[in-house]
Amino acid sequence: MSKGPPTLDSNDSEKLLDALLSNGHTCKKMRKAVRNHCMALLMLEAGLRVGELVSLRLCDLFFNTVPVRTIFIKPHMTKNKVEHSIPVSPRLAETLASFLQSLALETKHPIDFDVFAFRTSQGNLTTRQVERIICTAGWKALNRPVHPHILRHTFASRLMRITSSSTVQQLLGHKYLTSTQIYCHPNEDDKRHAIEEASAQPNQSQPTEQHPQQEPHQAAPVHPGPQPASQSGPQSASRW
């Protein structure tokens, strides 16, 4: 049986985000936790591929130290060279602001917004490092590995329930609509909601509608014998 790509339900998504944010016990680890939480939310609420994520520069996320309202993914950042844009949700905007604040605490110098957004002390984060971060958080929160692309799948599947497939196609940066239609399959949230809706319905058949009793139809009186012919000439063959 055909099924859609793996996704996270709402509860598992929140557990994963909490696990990423709760890893900080020192100032340095807390800043790293804020960074990792921000990366996960960019994939979960903006649908970014991991390759697009590590290609972001701070100027793609902030304008005059304020989180942008729309993230523009340029052709050179994508694997299919399709430019697309994603509006920033209020939750993501708040997370971006926290991320920038944590960056400001790392240095006394002005922030260089032309550098890559997600870095370590050794340099820019790679896709393999991001995969390892999300996978480790998956084991901690859900007792199973979570690949970053599952977060993108989750973003797309949620949107498919509330908007058109063509809108989802543009948000994901798919070149062909057929690539987007794999998200039409129900996920665990859909199935759980269906069961809850079914359980809430009374298990009774609806009574048949009672129609008010009508008076018996009285036939028009019948006049015996042939009617006399009209005196005005022959009758027309049809009244219509």
Which positions are annotated as active-site residues? 49, 79, 149, 152, 174, 183
What's the N-to-C CA distance of the chain in angstroms?
Answer: 61
- 8 Å CB contact between 134 and 146: yes
CB of 39 within 8 A of CB of 219? no
Residue with tokens 């939480």: 37
Give DSSP secondary structure letters for 155-173: HHHHHHTTS-HHHHHHHHT
152 sits in the region (left: phi over 0; alpha: psi -120 to 50; else beta) called alpha
CA distances from 175 to 120, 145, 149, 155 (A): 33, 29, 18, 18
- Cα–Cα distances (Å) from 173 to 2, 19, 167, in that order, read 24, 29, 10
